[in-house]
Amino acid sequence: MKFMQVIEYRTSRFDEANKLMDAWLAQTEGKRTVAQGFTGRDRDEPAKYVDVIVFPSYEEAMRNNDLPETQAMAAKMASLCDGEVTFHNLDVVREDSS
């Protein structure tokens, strides 16, 4: 069963966060288990962002989380955020495509 993680955060340093993500993508090439990822910015609150990350399974998500590069990126990302980061861990129970 596919697994999806939704991460909500606020940052006034999005450019730095974006560069951090680019570095993580380069460092984890061939190792990461992310199937697909999106970042969205809230139109009503421009400093609020939401990442939606899709994994083949919960187990693959945990394997990705355990990568040293992921742990280091998460710690650095937290320092770029204005306030708390909220995580939603979701089993995909329906998938539609057009």
- Could you tell me what percentage of the chain is helix, strand and coil, using 3-state DSSP and rounding each to the nearest 5? 35, 30, 35
Q: What is the pLDDT of residue 62?
A: 97
Mean pLDDT by 10 residues, the chain (98 residues): 97 97 98 97 98 98 98 96 96 94
Domain that holds residue 87: 3-91
E strand or H helix at 37, and its extent?
strand 36-41
Residue 69 lies in a domain: yes
Helical segments of the chain, H only: 14-27, 58-65, 68-80
Across the beta sheet with 86-91, the strand order is: 36-41, 48-55, 3-10, 86-91
Q: What is the pLDDT of residue 23?
A: 98
Residue 58 lies in a domain: yes
Provide the number of structural domains found in the chain. 1
Residue 97 lies in a domain: no
Which CATH number does the domain housing residue 73 bear? 3.30.70.100
